[in-house]
Amino acid sequence: MTRIAVKNVFGSYGKKQVLKGVDLSAAAGQCVGIVGENGCGKSTLFNILAGLKKADSGEVCFDTGKPPAECTGYVPQEGFLINGLRVIDNLSLWYRDKEELRQSLAQGFLNELGVNQMCRTRVEKLSGGMKKRVSIGCALAGNPPILILDEPDAALDLIGKAEIRGYLARYKEQGGTILLATHEQSDLELCDRVYALHNGKSREIDRTLRGEALMNEIKGR
C-alpha cells in the first residue's frame, strides 16, 4: 500500500525553481533513496514533504490523511539540536507525551539508539554520530510512520555510519517508511527503490547501480 505519493511537484529555492515536476512514491516498510548532484533540489523536496515549505504546485498525498507534521519525522542535513541544552532537555522539546519519552528511553527506539546513555550530557559535548542518533530520536517523537533523512551519514566515521544504518533497517522492518537523500553509495544497500533528481525532474533508476553507471544516471546521461 502506498504510504506517500508525490505527484508533479514544482518547488523553488529562493527565486530559482529547482523542482519541475517531481513524481515518486513509497510504501510501508520501504526505504526510498533520492540521489542527485548538489543543488538538484533534494533538500527543497524534503522541506516540502515535511511540511516546512509549500510547493509551487503539485500534490503530496499521505495515506494517513493527516498533515505532514503529524505523520513525518524529519532530520535535516544541518541538524536542529540546541547545543547549550542536555540531551534530555532537547528530547523533552519534541516529546509532548512524557510517558512516551520514558518508555522509549527504557525499552523503545531511543533505547535502541543508545540515547538513554547520554541523557545528562550537553549536546555540544557529543560526537557527530551521537548527535545524529539524538536527532533521529527527536524525529521519532510521536511514532511517525514516515522518517525523512537528509544526508544522515554526513561527517560520520565508518562505525557511526554502520550503526545508523542498523537502526534504520530495524525501523523499516517494523513497517516504517524511510525517504533518504544521500551521496553515499553504501546507503543504497538499505533502499528498496531509488530515484535520481536531475534538471528538476525525478526518474526511478536501478537500485543496484554503483560507480560510474550510477553517476551517469544521476547526470542524466
Quote the cell numbers at residue 176: 516504517
Whose cell is 515535511? That residue is: 50
pLDDT digits (tens, 9 = 90+) for 43-58: 999 999 999 999 999 9
Between 30 and 219, the higher pLDDT residue: 30
Considering just the CA atoms, what is the radius of gyration of the chain in Å? 17
Q: Which stretch, 60-69, 92-101, 145-154, 180-189, has highest mean pLDDT?
A: 92-101
Q: Residue 125 in contact with residue 145, Cβ under 8 Å?
A: no
User: Mean pLDDT across the chain, nearest whole number?
Assistant: 92
pLDDT digits (tens, 9 = 90+) for 190-209: 999 999 999 999 999 988 88
Percent of the chain with pLDDT over 90: 68
Residue 121 has pLDDT above 70, yes or no: yes
Please report, to the nearest 10 degrees, the dihedral formed by the alpha carbons of residues 148, 150, 155, 157 taken in order. 40
Whose cell is 548538489? That residue is: 38
Architecture of domain 2-79+145-218: 3-Layer(aba) Sandwich (3.40)
Residue 106 is inside which H or E element, if any?
A: helix 98-107
208's CB contacts (< 8 A; 6+ apart) are none
